[in-house]
Amino acid sequence: MPLQVVVAAYSGNAPEKLRQQAHRLVQGLRACRPGSVVLLGGYRGLMREVADAARDAGLPMVFVIPRGYEGDAYPEGSIVIRTGLDTRERSSILVRSGDVVVVLGGAIGTLFEVLIACSYKIPVFFLKGSGLQTDRFANCFKDGVVDDRIGRCIEYFDSVEELLKRLCGHRVRKSS
């Protein structure tokens, strides 16, 4: 059954290693869960790499964008939801729309989406070793628990292949 996968990724220029990982992630998702929907917060930086890989793989893309991204061009055939909200508020809608949040690396926006996902008890699959600010978060919450009342909400992975094994077996989230 297809998943709705939110990919939280850096909006700036990403290192080549991360761009390659983005492509491997999408190719693996298509192989194990055909028809899965890739949800993104914009078409910039590493998010653009993910989107282009999804387009090339024939996976549907949904962009849940903040007001500040409304002037950007988006890939043909994608669905663009113009929330009219700032990035923080938009992130709540984006995260709630997914069955899982996959973190490829980023900065404060990505970290904010991790915390939102945990607050809604939406699983976070977090790829370590990006070289970006998100790596510091992984060092702070090594056990995947950011709030004892919620419990473990983050699973960390050292490789895209490890992450894909878990993602491919993940269940579609029931509405809450």
Number of Cβ within 10 Å of residue 41's Cβ equals 27
Residue 175 pLDDT greater than 70, yes or no = no
* Inside any domain, residue 122: yes
CATH of the domain at 96: 3.40.50.450
Q: How many domains does the chain have?
A: 1
Closest among 81, 17, 22 to 57, alpha carbons compared: 22
The answer to whether residue 41 sits within a structural domain is yes
What is the per-residue pLDDT across 39-57, written as a single tens digit (0 to 9) for each?
Answer: 999 999 999 999 999 999 9
> What residue type is 79 in one-letter code?
I
User: What pTM was estimated for this model as a whole?
Assistant: 0.95
Predicted pLDDT of residue 73: 97
Is there a domain that residue 176 lies in?
no
Q: Is residue 175 part of a domain?
A: no
Q: Is residue 18 part of a domain?
A: yes
Output the average pLDDT for the chain: 95
Q: Quick check: 83 pLDDT over 90?
A: yes
**If pLDDT is split at 50, 70 and 90, which confidence band does 1 have?**
confident
Is pLDDT at 11 greater than 80 in this prediction? yes
What integer pLDDT is reported at residue 176 of this predicted model? 57
Mean pLDDT of 113-118: 98
pLDDT value for 162: 98
In a domain, 21, yes or no: yes
DSSP state of 12: S
- Domain of 51? 4-168
Residue type, 68: G
Tell me, yes or no, whether 12 lies in a domain: yes
Does any domain span residue 174? no
**Residue closest to 52 by CA, chosen among 26, 17, 32:** 26
pLDDT band at 95 (very low <50, low <70, confident <90, very high): very high
55-72, pLDDT tens digit by residue?
A: 999 999 999 999 999 999
